[in-house]
Amino acid sequence: MQNVDQLESKLLDLSTPGGENYGQWLSHDEVKSTFSPSKEAVSSVTKWLKSNGVKHYKVNGAFIDFALDVAGANSLLGGDYQYYVKDGQTKLRTLSYSIPNSLAEHIQYVDPSTNFGATSAFTPVPRPSRTTVTKRNDAASKSSIDASCQTSITPSCLKQLYNVGDYAPDVESGSSIGFSSFLNQSALFSDVFQFEDKFGIPKQNFTKVLINNPINDQNPASKNYGEANLDAENIVGIAHPLPFTEYLTGGAPPFVPNIDQPTAADNQNEPYLPYFRYLLTQKDLPAVISTSYGDEEDGVPREYATLTCNLIGLLGLRGITVIFSSGDLGVGAGCLAPDYKTVEFNAIFPATCPYLTSVGGTVDVTPEIAWDGSSGGFSKYFARPSYQNHAVKTYMKTVSDKTKKYYAPYTNWNGRGFPDVSGHSVSPDYEVIYAGKQARSGGTSAAAPVWAGIVGLLNDARFRAGKGSLGWLNPLIYKYGPKVLTDITGGYSIGCDGNNTQTGQPEPAGSGLVPGARWNATIGWDPVTGYGSPDFGKLKDLVLSF
């Protein structure tokens, strides 16, 4: 890929409201011609492949796909491809490789072969019904939110909570929404239809797109639906009748072992690279795409993370909003670096990628406060982007010198801060339909598709006004966030205490411990709730003004 050094500046130029080129998104062909590798790079790499006996290869934009048997791949790359088998699933990968020095400037990453998804899905944990209600302040007593929303979250509750009101989108406006499914997850049509029926939503179908040989499992007995159902049901609940698409991607990528994923057989990282590669080949995509998955950042090879993030940036140039959940691990879970010695806070990738909008979690409804499981913090892979400078510097003024010094060994104060925004996650929990039965679920996995639905509605309003899509949101968020978002100033996240906030289970023996570790919600941006939760009415007025 060439001209990567221009990516951030181009994104800021097109995505900053008030700028001369705001909203003048690039076409599929313009992105491809600008960032595809040079003829010299293609020639050098293909000559190397052919000289090493590679007969079957194809140049696909910024990538060259080639086929070799295991012995040939080991010889070409100096790797050690092996088959790993667990619970009946077989995966082929290598944990290291090498390339000639003369090609280092042309090859950013070599993606090892993968076949099947990981052995278990990263799904939200079903939660028991909450019967107690948190005491609220005087302002809450004046709230117009239904009393039933104090015990469970329904589509009606979301519309009340986020000031959607009676806004009615137009199915013909051109606004549409996408969401991602990995690790053999697949939304059950029957459950989504039952959800619609339960909450009085006119029956709406949705589209599935299969990438890299995934499993589109519609059998409730397989239980591979938790995350996918949550995404689909939240999107249709808040954004009906806007069309939405589920993108199912098979496979599992390379990883770096850590205390939570000690062996390749435990790898539950998602195949982001083939997913975003596929999206970039498509000329017609939803204007907002939500993903409710994430991995501990240093459990992903740095080169893989960087390349994936750049591909996300290319989608932004095309006017597509990419949203990711920040994660459900609070400050961290295992809290150990891959060397199994260094204690650290766990940043979550891809939420740390600066070219997407990361969504953290809140609890309660009036007022919302930070969820203690909302992942956040600072990246070790990605430097703090310029659009965050003011927000993070302002936040740092609220952090005592004692805390800065105490946290310094565990975090990177100069890294990209996340999340950017937040949304309701748990307590009260979301009502969902799982395998034909009413259930409760939540997490930032719920907040991300809710935000995608809100963006879908905002795009609908803009399209109907003759305007373009919102695209990459972060310049808008960091410029106008305090004016159009509901600041979350109470609560905090926890972690690095030997427990996993997502599963509720203890971490493996030897996990990293940092007594008192937490990120506090404060006035303005903070690394647990970002700039806060959406106010659709205020956002709509804003985005129709430029």
- Which residues line the annotated binding site for Ca(2+)? 487-488, 524, 526
Which DSSP category does 181 fall into?
A: E
User: In 3-state terms, what secondary structure has residue 485?
Assistant: strand
**R_g over Cα of the chain:** 22
Among the listed residues 284, 249, 280, the one whose alpha carbon sits nearest the alpha carbon of residue 121: 249
Q: Could you say which of 231, 295, 328, 431 is catalytic?
A: 231
Among the listed residues 265, 261, 273, 192, the one whose alpha carbon sits nearest the alpha carbon of residue 225: 192
Among the listed residues 100, 198, 91, the one whose alpha carbon sits nearest the alpha carbon of residue 152: 198
431 contacts: CB under 8 Å, gap ≥ 6: 152, 153, 154, 438, 439, 440
| Distance of alpha carbon 425 from alpha carbon 194, whole angstroms | 22
User: In 3-state terms, what secondary structure has residue 486?
Assistant: strand
39 contacts: CB under 8 Å, gap ≥ 6: none
Task: Describe the crossing of helices 226-239 and 444-464 by its angle, rounded to 10 degrees.
Answer: 30
Q: Is 445 a catalytic residue?
A: yes
Contact present, 89 and 116 (Cβ < 8 Å): yes
| Distance of alpha carbon 510 from alpha carbon 498, whole angstroms | 9
Phi/psi of residue 322, nearest 5 degrees: -110, 120
Q: Could you say which of 196, 227, 368, 460 is catalytic?
A: 227
| Distance of alpha carbon 226 from alpha carbon 191, whole angstroms | 11
Helices (H), 38-100: 39-51, 70-77
397 contacts: CB under 8 Å, gap ≥ 6: none
Contact present, 425 and 444 (Cβ < 8 Å): yes
Contact present, 137 and 367 (Cβ < 8 Å): yes
Q: Is the dihedral of CA 383, 389, 394, 397 positive or negative?
A: positive
Task: Describe the crossing of helices 474-484 and 389-396 by its angle, rounded to 10 degrees.
Answer: 50
Q: Is 227 a catalytic residue?
A: yes
Indicate the annotated binding residues: 487-488, 524, 526
Contact present, 478 and 260 (Cβ < 8 Å): no
Question: Beta strands of 224-341 (E only): which ranges?
Answer: 244-249, 288-291, 295-296, 321-325
Question: Beta strands of 232-287 (E only): which ranges?
Answer: 244-249
Q: Which residue, chain included where needed, has tokens 């993030």?
A: 309
Contact present, 244 and 178 (Cβ < 8 Å): yes
3-state SS, 358-405, equals: EEEEEECCCCCEECCCCCCEEEEEEECCHHHHHHHHHHHCCCCHHHHH
Catalytic residues: 227, 231, 445
